[in-house]
Structure 1
C-alpha cells in the first residue's frame, strides 16, 4: 500500500486497518477528511471464504466470516454515514457475491453473509430515499475473480475444484475496479444499484 500510494502521489493516501475494529474505520474517515476535505465514496470490499459443509462444524470459520463479511461492512458504514448525511451526498459500494443470490453447497455461511449485505444495502437505500438524502448505493456481485479470496479457503476438495475453475476462467481484479469506476462516474441523480460481474463461462 505504501508503494502504491507513493506512486499515485498527492491523490492517494493509506492507513493500515482492521475492518472488524470500528475505531480503525473511523480513523480512515478522519484521515480522508483531513487529506481530501470530505469523503465521497465508501467501497467495502474486504471478505473471506473458508468454505466447507456445515457438518464440518467450523465454528471459528463461521465467526470470522460474520466478523469480516458482515460486521466489517457495518463498521465501515457506521464510520461514514454521519459524514454522508451531513453533506447530503455520498456513495456506498459493497462487494456482495453471486453466492449471495443463490445456493452454493459448501458455502452456506458465506452465501448467508453475502446475502445479508445485499439486503441490508437495499434497505439502507430505501431509508435514504424516504429521508430525502442524496446518497447512492451500489452492490457488486462478482463471480470468479483472481484475488486473495482463495487464500482464505481451507485446503479441501472444494478448494481444489474452485481453484481449477478460477485458474481457467477467473477474471483479473481490474475487472471489478472498472465496475466501481463505472458506478461512481455516473452523473448526479443516476444510481447504478446492482452490477453482476462474472466470467462468460461461469454460467
Structure 2
C-alpha cells in the first residue's frame, strides 16, 4: 500500500477534524504530500505541525467549500507547490438533521451548498488539473444515510444521494482517464452530529454513536486502500460501517 501512495499529492477538504484529519495523518504517514483545506485555520496549523513533526509533508489553506474560488485556490496551492495534483478528496460536509415538516429551510440550503455544491466545486477544481495531466483520482466521502433512508435525514440523505449519482456518472464519463471513488461511512466518531439543532435528535444520535461508532481511522484506511491500487484499477464504491449498525 505504502509504495503506491508515496509521493502522491493529495488535497483534502474538511481536514481540520474527524475523517479528514485522520486521512491526512494516515496518507502523510504513507509518504503522500497532503494539501489540507478547512475553515478552521488554527486547527489546520496544528495538524500541519503534527504531520511535519512525524517527518511527513503537509501544507494548508483556509478553505470554505461554499466558495468556488476557495477550492480553486486549494488546488492551485497543490500545483504551485508540488507541480501536480494526484488525488482530490471531497470530505467536508454537514448534517443539521430535522424532520422535513419542521421546515428548517436555512439548514436545507446550507446542506445543499456544502454537501452538494461544495463537492461539485471540488470536482471542478480538480478536473481542471486532471484534464491537463491526463490522470487523477477523485474520492467523494458520501454516507450510508443515502443508502438507508430514515426519518430526520431526508434532506441530508438527498444531498448525499445526489453526490452518489454524480460520482457514478463521473466514473463512467472518465472512460479510464481518471479514477473516481465513492466512500460511504456509517456511524463514525466525528463532529458531524454537532450541527443538529434538535437537542433530542442530537442526544439520541450521539448516544447511539457512543455505543457503536467506528473511528475515523477506519474510513482513512478505506481511502488509502482506494488510492493504493494500481493505476488501471478503479475502486468505484466502498461502504464501511460498524458491524452492528442496522
1:117-136 matches, cutoff 5 A: 117-129=163-175, 133-136=176-179
Instruction: Check conservation: 2:93, 2:114, Cα contact below 8 A.
Output: yes
1:138 partner SS: strand
Structure 1 unaligned blocks of 5 or more? none
- Does 1:199 pair with 2:245? no
The Cα of 1:158 is off from its aligned counterpart by 2.0
Structure 1 window deviating more from structure 2 (74-83 vs 60-69): it is 74-83
Q: Distance in 1 between matches of 2:94 and 2:59?
A: 25
Q: Tell me the number of residue pairs that the alignment of Structure 1 and Structure 2 aligns.
A: 200
Select the residue among 99, 123, 126 that pairs with 2:145. Answer: 99
Residue 36 of structure 1 is matched in structure 2 by: 82
Residue 97 of structure 2 is matched in structure 1 by: 51
- Does 1:163 pair with 2:206? yes
Structure 2 unaligned blocks of 5 or more? 1-43
1:12 partner SS: strand
The Cα of 1:7 is off from its aligned counterpart by 2.9
Q: CA RMSD in A?
A: 1.1
Instruction: Check conservation: 2:171, 2:236, Cα contact below 8 A.
Output: no
Runs of 4+ in 1 over 4 A off after TM superposition: none
The Cα of 1:140 is off from its aligned counterpart by 0.6
Q: Distance in 2 between matches of 1:80 and 1:121?
A: 14
Residue 139 of structure 1 is matched in structure 2 by: 182
Residue 161 of structure 2 is matched in structure 1 by: 115
Q: Distance in 1 between matches of 2:209 and 2:72?
A: 35
The Cα of 1:121 is off from its aligned counterpart by 0.9
Alignment TM-score, normalising by the size of structure 1? 0.95
Q: Distance in 2 between matches of 1:156 and 1:31?
A: 40
Q: Distance in 2 between matches of 1:109 and 1:75?
A: 20
Alignment TM-score, normalising by the size of structure 2? 0.79
The Cα of 1:35 is off from its aligned counterpart by 1.4
Structure 1 window deviating more from structure 2 (112-121 vs 98-107): it is 98-107
The Cα of 1:155 is off from its aligned counterpart by 2.9
- Does 1:87 pair with 2:133? yes
- Deviation string, structure 1 residues 17-68 (Cα, Å, up to 9, x no partner): 1000010001001110111110000000111111111110000000000000
Q: Distance in 2 between matches of 1:194 and 1:49?
A: 21
Q: Distance in 2 between matches of 1:91 and 1:67?
A: 23
- Deviation string, structure 1 residues 132-161 (Cα, Å, up to 9, x no partner): x52001101100001110111113322222
